[in-house]
Amino acid sequence: MVLQVLSVIGEPIMSWRTVFTVIVIMVVIIAGTVFYMKPSATSTPTMITNVSNISGHVIVFCAGSLYIPLQELKEVFEEKFPGVEVVIEPSGSVMAVRKVVELNRRCDVIALADYRLIPKYMVPNYTKWYVAFATNEIVLCYTDKSRYADEINADNWYEILSRPDVKYGFSNPNDDPCGYRAVTVLGLASLLYGENILDELVLSRTNIKAKEVNGELRIYVPSELEVYSENLVIRSKSVDLIALLEAGALDYAFEYRSVAVQHNLKFIELPRELNLGDPEMENFYSKVTIHILCGIDKEKAIRGAAIVYGVAVPLTVENYDGALEFIKMLLSSTGKSIFEKHGQPFLEESMYFGDVPEVLKS
C-alpha cells in the first residue's frame, strides 16, 4: 500500500481526486499504527524502568483486618515515592471483590483475608495472577467489661456464649471472610465436642441453615441474612464490632488474632482444631463447608481451610507501575516486619499463582 501511495505521489500532475485519495490512505495508515500500538483495556502494562517516575494515586481495596498494617506500609511507601498518594479503602473481602467485579470500580491493588476468593471470583476476567503471603487465626475477643470475663477460658467459651444475658458477634459471612470463618469455627466446635453449638449459637438466632452429611457439615447463608436474637450482633466487617466491644455494648466477638493485638483486646486462644491457623489440621477444617450468598448467582461454596491472605492487581488498574511497586514493598522484609509487629505473620514462602511479574518474585 505504501508503494502505491508513493507512485501516486510521484505523478507529475495530481487531480484533486488523487490528492484526496492520498490523504485518506495516509490517515488510515497512521490511525492503524496508533491503534495497534495502544494497549487494550485488559492487557498487562510493562514495568517502567525508572521507578522514581512513579506518581499519581494507588487505590487499594483491602480486608478490614489489613487496614492498620497497610496504613503503616503506605507511610513508608509515600516517603520513598513522594509523587504517589496511596488511598486505602477497607471493607469485608467479599465486598471488596464485588466492588471490582460488579461495580467495575478502579482498583490498583486488592488485598484479601482469603486468597481463595481471587480464583473463585476474579480469575481470569478480573485478574490474571495473585500472591498468597500471610496467615492468621481466629480468636474470641473480650474486655474487662464483658460478662463472665473472669470465668471464660479455652474450655468453656461456647458455654459462656450460650448464656441468656451474654451478647456476642461476628461479621457478615456474605461480606467478610472473618464472618464465614467464625461460623465455620462454630460448626467445627459442634463436630469436635459432639454438642449442638452451631444450632444454639447461630441457627436458632438467624436464617442460616445447615445439614450434616457423612460426618461433615454444610452451612448455608442466605444472601439476605436475618438475625432473630438480640444476643447476636452481625456487622459487615469484623473490625466494625470492636467499637461495640470496647463500649461494653457487646461482650464477645470473633476476630483475627492480629486485630486483637492491634487493638489491645483480651482474647481466648481457641484449640488448634478450631482456630483455622494450623495447616496440619486442614483435614479436620475441611469437614465444614459454608455456602455464602445463597439464592443469587454469586453463591459460592467455601470449604474450611487454614487462613491465608492474598494480593493481586485487578484489570481495573490505572496505575499498574505504582501497584507493582506497592506489592513489591508489601512482600519485602519491610512489609513482613510491619505485619509481624501488628500480630500477623507471613507465610514462610509466598505462593505465586498465574503469570506473576518477575519483579515480585525477587
Instruction: Kindly indicate the confidence band of residue 326, based on its pLDDT and cuts at 50, 70 and 90.
Output: very high
Q: pLDDT at residue 14 above 60?
A: no
Report field, pTM of the whole predicted structure over 0.75: yes
Q: pLDDT at residue 147 above 60?
A: yes
Mean pLDDT on 207-231: 97
Q: pLDDT at residue 158 above 60?
A: yes
Instruction: Kindly indicate the confidence band of residue 223, based on its pLDDT and cuts at 50, 70 and 90.
Output: very high
Give the pLDDT of residue 52: 56
Q: pLDDT at residue 234 above 80?
A: yes
Give the pLDDT of residue 362: 73
Mean pLDDT on 99-127: 97
Give the pLDDT of residue 284: 98
Q: Which of 23-32, 54-63, 255-264, 324-333 has the lowest mean pLDDT?
A: 23-32
* 291-311 per-position pLDDT tens digit: 999 999 999 999 999 999 999
- What percent of the chain stands above pLDDT 70? 86
* 66-75 per-position pLDDT tens digit: 999 999 999 9
* 73-96 per-position pLDDT tens digit: 999 999 999 999 999 999 999 999
Mean pLDDT (the chain) is 89
Q: pLDDT at residue 41 above 80?
A: no
Distance, C-alpha 353 to centroid of its chain: 15
Q: pLDDT at residue 4 above 80?
A: no
